[in-house]
Amino acid sequence: MTRLSVNLNKVALIRNSRGENLPDLVQVVKDCESFGAQGITLHPRPDERHARYSDIPQLREIVTTEFNIEGNPNPRFLELVLNNPPHQCTLVPDDPDALTSSEGWNTIKYHDFLTETIAKLKEKGIRVSIFLDPEERFVEGAKKVGADRIEFYTGHFAKEFKTNPENAVRSHSVAAKLANELGLGVNAGHDLNLENLKFYKDHVEGLLEVSIGHALISDALYYGLENTIQMYLSKLK
């Protein structure tokens, strides 16, 4: 079964909007895990508009499933991760002022930087995943820089899925097949939702984990958090 990691950035965004601790991120983590979430993801950005750097040490202590920290590996982010080793660190090449992550690494252009960064993380026993567009050349590059896993950016898939599902997933299927042959684990995330998740999972070989935040939290407004997590898990079975 593909694992569901719940991204709690949107919950942190709501908390920050009032300058108080409501909702309490610690309690939400505990509840998500009790409702069936198999992992927790946070993506602290430099402006800390949702997840804060100060959230990481606190949540690392209470996550009982799997803790995944995402982010652009600038010096401050790397220091945070190395000092608070999660189970997995997902490297994402987003600009500091990016609204959301919208593209993956060029693992050829940034070969040396990624190789050095990944080595530092793996020295701490952290599994490293890198955010990729589903292109075979970038998958091959991910293997060469020492990544343990790749996370496919699924934003373009989600947009095209509405009109041409088969074509939307084709490049992901091909790239995942190559990743499996190379011994790379396959994760995915961005704009996956209740409508497209099962189709994606059924067409991407060896999909180990999906990280879902925006859609899941939006659905929870209607269905409730516990019901929503169960609905997403049902799509992955």
Q: Is residue 99 over pLDDT 70?
A: no
Q: Is residue 98 over pLDDT 80?
A: no
Rounded to the nearest 10 degrees, the angle between the axes of helix 75-83 and helix 55-62 is 30
Cis peptide before 23 (omega within 30 of 0): yes
CB-neighbour burial class of residue 22 (10 A; exposed 0-12, middle 13-18, buried 19+)? exposed
Q: Supply the pLDDT for residue 94.
A: 80
Q: Where are the domains of the chain?
A: 3-236
Span 113-155, pLDDT tens digits: 999 999 999 999 999 999 999 999 999 999 999 999 999 999 9
Of the pLDDT bands very low, low, confident and very high (cuts 50, 70, 90), residue 101 is: low
- pTM higher than 0.75, yes or no? yes
Task: Determine phi and psi for 142, rounding to 5 degrees.
Answer: -65, -40
Average pLDDT, whole number, for the chain? Answer: 96
**Catalytic residue positions, numbered:** 43, 70, 190
- CA nearest to 92, candidates 82, 101, 83: 101
Tell me how far apart the alpha carbons of residues 157 and 187 are, in angstroms, rounded to a whole number: 14
Percent of the chain with pLDDT over 70: 97
Average pLDDT of span 41-60: 95
> Under 8 Å CB-to-CB from 120, ≥6 apart: which residues?
78, 82
Task: Indicate left, alpha or beta for 48 from its phi (over 0: left) and psi (-120 to 50: alpha).
Answer: left
**CATH homologous superfamily of 3-236:** Aldolase class I (3.20.20.70)
